[in-house]
């Protein structure tokens, strides 16, 4: 097949190339001068697979792009930019488009320069500095006046008090520096969000923008957004799949761990589904497209993750959490500042007012939430609301709806029959090694069999998974593993699994037989869940007692309720909550949305295809097992502990500033410096590292 795909040629472009080296491209365009448009273009480029970072500079109309040349070419980046700035271009909203907009330092820089020059060299600059500070605080002053009229106090009242103290004391440099650091931390918060999304959520927040479309005997490069259902595309080994579809022919191996949450690589044969965001690992994929652009599964879920990872904005803090923490500190701060003014002077009161109680917690909560959302997503768990971590950690009762996942049985090795003098242990070791990297029920069964016999499984050189068999090289000897009858799919077996035939250089050397486990796979998962704190586990079933009772016994739950319709499940959830218990509901949120809404937190499992629009659950699980649940509970407990550590950690420098104002002669400038050192510690993750060390030393603290 001829191909018109060429990474080297670069088309003429309205974008001016300022500099270009492999992996780094700087371009200019008048469209960048508009800050809002620049932000959208930046987000569009950042959502492209292969792009490491994108930074727009409206002042210079420039855009700096860092990228991986092996994943995307310079000419392709220029084509995306041309499409975005074309008047009639059809644009797909990037998953990252909900990110915080760029931060402007223009006014903050000007105020800081004026204040520094006025205090240190030219006193005549102090009056215009004061006017600029008042002008920049007009929104704060209006809100503080509203608070005064309604007889309440909040951050605007505190900031207005600080401004009045600044005007009376003439400490303009401290005020300007405080305003500048606030902008600085907003900027660093934005950059950290982009970086963590790229590191933790690559397949969800980035997408392949180009596809090789099969046209007659040629391959034509097209934008993925222009693909239509029924188009046939080619995906080379190592590339990201650009659109949802199904494998049109042959065998292939796909890495879809980030889009489906499976435990390893997936072996595919003709007719199997292929999802956008997965990667071709072995074999050239011929995919018939079933969805594209905003219709892809990965992009839909990516928007959910991006929205969850972007904290709600707040007018007087980085986010709502920071504003809430800061608001709690307003009353005590004003009272202590009044005491400082009574026993000291205006400088002492100013030093007490300056500590920042909002920025550190807001920054810490946002970054901790993003890390935990990303880690969960890598395990196939999509957390749509960061507060779900707290609610899962605090849950007293886990109510499981009777979905098929609960009754699904695993596999176990029934027998190992060696032939031609081969040892049983060698057969098990080689089979476990061959299946180690696959999302296949036989992989854990073989691994468990080896563990029970204390057989050490060594990773073999790269296995060949293409075709109906698996082939590995063991010391120059080619070994193959094939189902009997032939089968390559990792889907669940309806009947007794077929035997696994092992051959060496085409000569049979043994067979391994499997059986269904006597207990559901979920039993071990629920046992592990109990290990992470005292909880009660219940089963809600719409089936008759004769069917629900045995599954409840096999799962070892504390109680079960049978013959429940949709309203009965809702009432069961509400009954637990009326008793003062916090309830986590685990079921199909698309089928039983009211039960999901009734719980303190809902985790949705059991669906064939996630549909966030129809599912109110705070957590969507892409996996077909329950092995994730204990890890999610533990991560939620650690998340809650880390947030408490962040809030407590921020108090240390701020309390030190108060003590310094009373006993060490701290000025407002001293307090600004010290409180920002505390925020820096939060930004670098110091509370998280300290919490992890404490947990390792004292497991009871977990």
Model pLDDT, residue 201? 64
* C-beta separation of 364 from 502 below 8 A: no
Of 584, 606, 627, the domain-final residue: 627
* Cα–Cα–Cα angle for 333, 336, 342, rounded to 5 degrees: 140
Range 423-443 burial, b when 16+ CB lie within 10 A, else e? ebbbbbbbbbbbbbbbbbbbb
Instruction: Note whether 583 and 435 are same-domain residues.
Output: no
Closest residue by Cα to residue 299 from 386, 382, 190: 382
Looking at the fold, whether 516 and 482 belong to one and the same domain comes out as: yes
**CA–CA separation, 150 and 318 (whole Å):** 25
CATH of the domain at 621: 3.40.50.1000
Domain membership of residue 185 (yes or no) is no
Q: Are 82 and 13 in contact (CB under 8 A)?
A: yes
Distance linking the first and last C-alpha atoms of the chain = 59
Residue pointed to by tokens 């600085």: 184
Q: Does 11 map to a domain?
A: yes
Angle between helices 668-683 and 172-200 (to 10 degrees): 0
Closest listed residue to residue 44, CA positions, set 85, 10, 12, 1:
85
Residue 100, domain member (yes or no)? no
Residues 6 or more apart whose CB falls under 8 angstroms from that of 605 comprise 403, 405, 586, 587, 588, 621, 623, 626
Verify that 423 and 434 share a domain, yes or no.
Answer: yes
The verdict on residue 192 lying in a domain is: no
What is the value of pTM for the model shown?
0.82
Whole-number Å distance between alpha carbons of 457 and 459:
7
Give a yes or no: residue 584 inside a domain: yes
Say whether both 481 and 547 belong to one domain: no
CA trace torsion 652, 655, 657, 658 (10° rounding): 180
Token output for 134:
């008042």
In a domain, 236, yes or no: yes
Per-residue pLDDT at 607: 66
- Assess whether 448 and 495 both reside in one domain: yes
pLDDT value, residue 292: 63
How far is Cα 511 from Cα 519, in angstroms, rounded to an integer? 25
Q: Along the chain (702 residues), what's the average pLDDT of each consecutive run of 10 residues?
A: 46 80 94 83 85 87 93 92 69 49 83 92 90 90 93 92 90 92 89 74 75 90 90 92 89 85 84 90 90 70 78 82 90 93 90 91 88 87 93 96 88 90 90 88 91 85 80 85 57 61 90 88 92 91 93 94 95 96 95 94 82 88 89 93 87 92 92 92 76 44 36
Give the per-residue pLDDT at 484.
Answer: 59
Q: Does 606 share its domain with 566?
A: yes
Would you state the structure tokens that stand for residue 353, as one six-digit string? 């007012």
3-state secondary structure of 571: helix
Whole-number Cα distances in Å, 480 to 98, 229, 299, 639: 49, 37, 38, 45
Q: Provide the pLDDT for residue 73.
A: 93
Q: 389 and 439: one domain? A: no
- Whether 645 and 412 have beta carbons less than 8 Å apart is answered as no
Domain end call among 610, 627, 644: 627
Distance CA 251, CA 488 (A): 9
Phi, psi of 114 (to 5 degrees): -60, -45
End position of a domain, from candidates 295, 311, 341: 295
**In terms of residue numbers, what domain contains 558?**
380-406+523-627
Helices 74-85 and 35-46, packing angle to 10 deg: 140
H or E element at residue 27? strand 24-28
Among 142, 145, 140, 168, which residue's Cα sits nearest to residue 155?
Answer: 140
How far lies 94's CA from each of 79, 303, 367, 620, in Å? 16, 8, 21, 21
Three-class DSSP category at 456: coil
Residues 384 and 531 in one domain: yes
Mark whether 84 and 223 lie in a shared domain: no
Predicted local distance difference test score (pLDDT) of residue 410: 83
What are 214's strand-pairing partners? 219
Q: What is the pLDDT of residue 59?
A: 83
- For the chain, how many structural domains are there in total? 4
**Residue 341 belongs to a domain:** no
- Shared domain for 231 and 271, answered yes or no, is yes
């Amino acid at each position: 097949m001829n191909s018109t795909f060429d990474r080297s040629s670069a088309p003429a472009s309205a974008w001016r190339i300022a500099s270009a080296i492999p992996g780094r491209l700087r371009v200019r365009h008048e469209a960048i001068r508009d800050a809002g448009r620049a932000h959208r273009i930046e987000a569009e480029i950042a959502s492209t697979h292969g792009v490491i970072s994108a930074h727009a500079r409206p002042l210079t109309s420039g855009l700096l792009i860092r990228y991986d040349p092996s994943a995307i070419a310079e000419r392709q980046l220029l084509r995306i930019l041309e499409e975005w700035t074309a008047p009639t271009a059809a644009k797909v909203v990037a998953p990252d488009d909900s990110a915080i907009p760029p931060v402007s330092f223009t006014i903050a820089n000007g105020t800081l320069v004026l204040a520094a020059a006025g205090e240190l060299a030219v006193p005549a600059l102090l009056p215009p500095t004061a006017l600029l500070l008042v002008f920049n605080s007009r929104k704060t002053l209006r809100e503080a006046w509203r608070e005064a009229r309604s007889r309440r106090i909040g951050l605007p009242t505190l900031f207005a008090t600080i401004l009045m103290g600044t005007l009376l004391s003439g400490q303009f440099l401290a005020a300007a520096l405080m305003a500048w650091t606030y902008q600085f931390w907003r900027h660093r918060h934005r950059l950290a969000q982009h970086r963590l999304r790229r590191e933790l959520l690559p397949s969800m927040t980035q997408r392949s923008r180009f596809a090789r479309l099969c046209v007659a005997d040629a391959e034509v490069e097209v934008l993925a957004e222009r693909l239509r259902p029924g188009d046939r595309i080619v995906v080379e080994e190592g590339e990201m799949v650009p659109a949802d579809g199904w494998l049109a022919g042959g065998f292939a191996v796909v890495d879809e761990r980030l889009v489906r949450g499976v435990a390893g690589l997936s072996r595919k044969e003709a007719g199997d589904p292929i999802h956008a965001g997965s990667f071709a690992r072995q074999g050239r994929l011929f995919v018939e497209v079933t969805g594209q652009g905003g219709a892809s599964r990965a992009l839909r879920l990516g928007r959910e993750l991006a929205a969850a990872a972007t904290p709600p904005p707040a007018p007087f803090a980085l986010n709502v959490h920071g504003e809430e923490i800061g608001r709690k500190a307003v009353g005590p701060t004003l009272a202590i500042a009044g005491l400082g003014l009574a026993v000291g002077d205006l400088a002492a009161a100013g030093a007490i007012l300056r500590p920042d109680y909002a920025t550190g917690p807001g920054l810490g909560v946002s970054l901790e939430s993003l890390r935990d959302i990303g880690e969960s997503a890598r395990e196939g768990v999509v957390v749509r609301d960061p507060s779900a971590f707290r609610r899962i950690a605090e849950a007293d009762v886990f109510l499981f709806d009777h979905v098929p996942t609960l009754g699904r049985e695993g596999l176990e090795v029934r027998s190992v029959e060696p032939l031609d003098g081969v040892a049983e242990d060698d057969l098990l070791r080689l089979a476990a090694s061959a299946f180690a990297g696959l999302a296949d029920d036989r992989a854990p069964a073989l691994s468990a069999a080896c563990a029970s016999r204390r057989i050490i499984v060594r990773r073999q050189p790269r296995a060949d998974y293409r075709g109906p068999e698996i082939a590995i090289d063991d010391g120059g000897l080619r070994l193959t593993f094939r189902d009997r009858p032939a089968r390559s799919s990792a889907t669940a077996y309806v009947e007794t699994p077929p035997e696994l035939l092992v051959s060496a250089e085409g000569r049979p050397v043994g067979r391994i037989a499997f059986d269904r486990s006597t207990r559901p796979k979920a039993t071990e998962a629920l046992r592990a869940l109990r290990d992470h704190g005292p909880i009660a586990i219940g089963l809600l079933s719409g089936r008759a007692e004769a069917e629900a009772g045995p599954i409840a016994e096999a799962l070892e739950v504390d109680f079960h309720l049978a013959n429940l319709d949709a309203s009965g499940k809702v009432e069961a959830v509400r009954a637990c909550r009326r008793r003062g218990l916090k309830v986590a509901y685990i079921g199909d949120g698309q089928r039983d949305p009211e039960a999901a809404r009734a719980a303190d937190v809902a985790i949705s499992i059991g669906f064939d295809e996630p549909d966030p629009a129809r599912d109110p659950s705070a957590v969507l699980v892409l996996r077909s097992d329950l092995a994730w649940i204990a890890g999610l509970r533990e991560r939620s407990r650690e998340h809650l502990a880390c947030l408490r550590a962040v809030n407590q950690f921020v108090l240390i420098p701020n309390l030190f500033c108060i003590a310094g104002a009373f006993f060490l002669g701290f000025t407002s400038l001293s307090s600004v410096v010290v409180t920002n050192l505390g925020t820096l510690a939060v930004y670098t993750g110091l509370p998280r590292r300290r919490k992890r060390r404490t947990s390792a030393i004292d497991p009871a603290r977990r």
